Amino acid sequence: MRTQVGIIGAGPAGLLLSHLLHLEGIDSVVLELRDRDYVQRRVRAGVLEQPTVELLRAAGVGTRMDAQGLPHDGISLRFDGADHRIDFAALTGRRITVYGQQEVVKDLIARRLADGGDLRFGVSGVAVHDVGSTRPLISFTDADGSARALDCDAIAGCDGFHGITRDSVPAGALTVHQHTYPFAWLGVLAEAPPSHHELIYTYHPRGFALHSMRSPSVTRLYLQVPPDERIEDWSDRRIWDELHTRLAADGFTLAEGPILEKGVTGMRSFVVAPMRHGRLFLAGDAAHIVPPTGAKGMNLAIADVRRLSLALTALLRSGDERLADGYADACLGRVWRAQHFSWWMTSMLHTFPEHDPFQRELQLAQLRYTATSEPAATSLAENYVGLPYSD
């Protein structure tokens, strides 16, 4: 088999990269370990920055997002038993859109297949070879059991934190930065209408809580828990009782409903540099992880592949290597800004095991300042809605 770009991973990053390359006349093949049904159902992020929304529209895959997505002009910081709204529209003139990652994936799969894209689900045994050459190779077993070799000009590792591409880089070629937080998030998806029209980020002495949503009938809710918490220890009733306690505020009623999914996710920050080795380019979670507090994960992945599509187009169309050579540094500037914002939001809103009353008062002081100072609120708002892309 032969293609210009072999893409490993059919999440938003890999699929959007394939589509953007197609728009520039660059061929690609997308390989995915899971089957199509699983990929289209897995629930992940749901907040799209304005630059992400604008990119999806410009790429011709925003029609369903515009029809079904939920535009939000702000968020609430809930502390001291009350809401303190951060008005994105007034402070920045921009907004976010709540639209599930699985919906973005559905849109991209449908478009790639309609355009004749080669998407291969259910593959196994994926390995990359000769990435230091100008003709790297991907070996894999197709869903029908056939052994394949895919000859490429470049390989994009869009296969997530647990994928194979990052580990294929020789030892010592990447610098790893990581930090683990002393808590996790217990997340639930509930068949219940949202209890508020926007996201609520809550600071509570018992721990952080977040009220979010995926649609007018499905709510996404999170609780801060210890990092080793067992989901088996949390009955549905216990989850709802704790959410009622932490989200309590005057005039607020939390709507309950059947819990469709629940799980515990650890909180970490992770960055590798330089996000490239030879003709292997890393993007999205394969190169960096942020705590979900700042809603940056999928947005960073999309920013990565936007830049990677430009770099690969220049490289493969005219042999111009400048954008490819600058890919990692350019992406990492945005990544580290998002890491700092996510760390700041996490540090301000979560209770830490080692915090004494003095440190908790410092958190409240920061929250009160952010909620009442226009410059401080503007800094939060412009980071949350997404900084403009730079070239």
State the virtual CA torsion across 53, 54, 55, 61 in degrees, nearest 10.
Answer: 70
β-bridge pairing 209-215 and 199-202: antiparallel
Q: How far is Cα 141 from Cα 311, in angstroms, rounded to an integer?
A: 29
> Which position among 203, 222, 327, 384 bears the catalytic label?
384
201 is catalytic: yes
Place of tokens 């890999």: 14
106 is catalytic: no
> Which position among 19, 72, 204, 277 bears the catalytic label?
72
Contact 106, 10 (CB under 8 A): no
Contact 98, 214 (CB under 8 A): yes
> Which position among 204, 211, 296, 350 bears the catalytic label?
296
β-bridge pairing 118-121 and 276-277: unpaired
222 is catalytic: no
CA atoms within 13 A on the CB side of 174: 26
Q: How far is Cα 370 from Cα 201, in angstroms, rounded to an integer?
A: 13
Q: How far is Cα 365 from Cα 318, in angstroms, rounded to an integer?
A: 55
> Which position among 136, 222, 292, 350 bears the catalytic label?
292
Q: How many C-beta neighbours within 10 Å does residue 310 have?
A: 17
Contact 109, 60 (CB under 8 A): no
Q: Which of 385, 290, 287, 386 is nearest to 332 (CA)?
A: 287
384 is catalytic: yes
Q: For residue 323, what are the contacts with CB-CB under 8 A and spacing of at least 6?
A: 307, 310, 311, 314, 315
72 is catalytic: yes
Which structure tokens are listed for 284?
Answer: 């999205």
Classify residue 387 as exposed, middle or buried by CB count within 10 Å of its CB (0-12, 13-18, 19+).
middle
Q: How far is Cα 201 from Cα 214, in angstroms, rounded to an integer?
A: 16
> Which position among 201, 203, 222, 327 bears the catalytic label?
201
Q: Sign of the C-alpha dihedral, residues 282, 271, 346, 240?
A: positive
DSSP-assigned beta bridge partners for residue 28: 5
Residues marked active site are found at 72, 201, 292, 296, 384
